[in-house]
């Protein structure tokens, strides 16, 4: 890859990741300031979901999924990367605003004493509970972002003709969503609301257009596809 091609990838797209600075400052500020949430989220279904500390591992695998999907799409499919950033970051922003307007929380977390088990998963859970207060839970950002990553990746060039990769992306995201309720980090309502924020983007970004758009030089520069001979040969 030549310097010009690398710069075309870096310049217009990598700076999107600066959003994480805004998000983290905003999120932890809310975490520290909202100590007495006005609305407690609960569904009768939550009472039938048992606590299982071993789901802390798929829960924490969210960080790995985020790094892998973001890096792969940024490097190989810039258009899908842009869609991921649009869906994920706008959804996160919406969630943070909602937390401010409608401060919410949970009261379904068990205590270590009530669980009565001592293992590595339980020790990690206790560290997680100390770091992450049971406030600002609905919609679940964990589920919203996982759904966005699975959707963007499964619709990308990387997964085209590779059904196994699509299944892997969705199963991974589903495990993360399941882990949020089995670890009592979230109510089932948080999961549903988080995934609803993903669903709204499907008709906007992934509905096939009836009109065919021609390949332009600008498209080749912004979204270079080394597998497309037309980009390789150059277009006017």
Which two structure tokens, joined as six digits, stand for 11? 């310049």
Distances (CA, A) of 173 to 25, 69, 153, 209, 229: 25, 11, 11, 27, 34
Q: Which of 53, 35, 29, 184 is nearest to 118 (CA)?
A: 53
- CA-to-CA distance for 151 and 154, rounded, in angstroms? 5
- CA-to-CA distance for 144 and 176, rounded, in angstroms? 10
- CA-to-CA distance for 233 and 236, rounded, in angstroms? 10
**Whether 184 contacts 109, CB under 8 Å:** yes
207-235 residue pLDDT tens:
875 444 455 555 555 555 554 554 555 54
* Residue 116 or residue 212, greater confidence: 116
Cis bond leading into 58, ω under 30°? no
Q: Is residue 132 very low, low, confident or very high in pLDDT (cuts 50, 70, 90)?
A: confident
67-97 residue pLDDT tens:
999 999 998 998 999 999 999 999 999 999 9
* Residue 53 or residue 6, greater confidence: 53
Show me where the domains of the chain are located: 18-205
**Whether 134 contacts 107, CB under 8 Å:** yes
* Residue 227 or residue 98, greater confidence: 98
167-218 residue pLDDT tens:
999 999 999 999 999 999 999 999 999 999 999 999 999 987 544 445 555 5
pLDDT at res. 212: 47
158-167 residue pLDDT tens:
999 999 999 9
Q: Which of 150, 142, 179, 126 is nearest to 70 (CA)?
A: 150
Residues with Cβ within 8 Å of 10's Cβ and at least 6 positions away in sequence, in order, are none
3-class DSSP string for the chain: CCHHHHHHHHHHHHHHHHHHHHHHHHHHHHHHHCCCCCEECCCHHHHHCCCCHHHHHHHHCHHHHHHHHHHHHHHHCHHHHHHHHHHHHHHHHHHHHHHHHCCEECCCCCCHHHHCCCCHHHHHHHHHHHHCCCECCCCCHHHHHHHHHHHHHHCCHHHCCCHHHHHHHHHHHHHHHHHHHHCCCCCHHHHHHHHHHHHCCHHHHCCCCCCCCCCCHHHHHHCCCCCCHHHHHCCC
Radius of gyration of the chain (CA): 20
Q: Is residue 236 very low, low, confident or very high in pLDDT (cuts 50, 70, 90)?
A: very low
């Amino acid at each position: 890859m030549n310097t010009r091609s690398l710069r075309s990838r870096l310049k217009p797209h990598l700076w999107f990741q600066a959003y994480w600075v805004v998000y983290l400052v905003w999120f932890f500020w809310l975490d520290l300031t909202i100590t007495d949430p006005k609305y407690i989220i609960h569904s009768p279904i939550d009472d039938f979901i048992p606590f299982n500390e071993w789901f802390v591992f798929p829960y924490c695998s969210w960080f790995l999924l985020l790094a892998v999907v973001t890096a792969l799409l940024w490097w190989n499919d810039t258009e899908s990367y842009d869609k991921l950033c649009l869906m994920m970051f706008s959804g996160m922003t919406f969630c943070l605003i909602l937390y401010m307007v409608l401060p919410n929380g949970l009261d379904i977390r068990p205590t270590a004493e009530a669980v009565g088990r001592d293992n590595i998963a339980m020790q990690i859970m206790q560290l997680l509970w100390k770091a992450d207060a049971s406030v600002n839970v609905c919609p679940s950002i964990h589920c919203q972002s996982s759904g966005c990553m699975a959707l963007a990746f499964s619709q990308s060039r990387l997964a085209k003709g590779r059904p196994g990769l699509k299944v892997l992306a969705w199963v991974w995201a589903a495990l993360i969503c399941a882990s949020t309720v089995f670890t009592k980090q979230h109510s089932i309502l948080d999961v549903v609301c988080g995934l609803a924020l993903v669903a709204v983007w499907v008709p906007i970004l992934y509905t096939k257009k009836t009109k065919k758009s021609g390949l332009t030089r600008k498209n080749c520069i912004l979204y270079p596809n080394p597998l497309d001979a037309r980009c390789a040969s150059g277009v006017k």
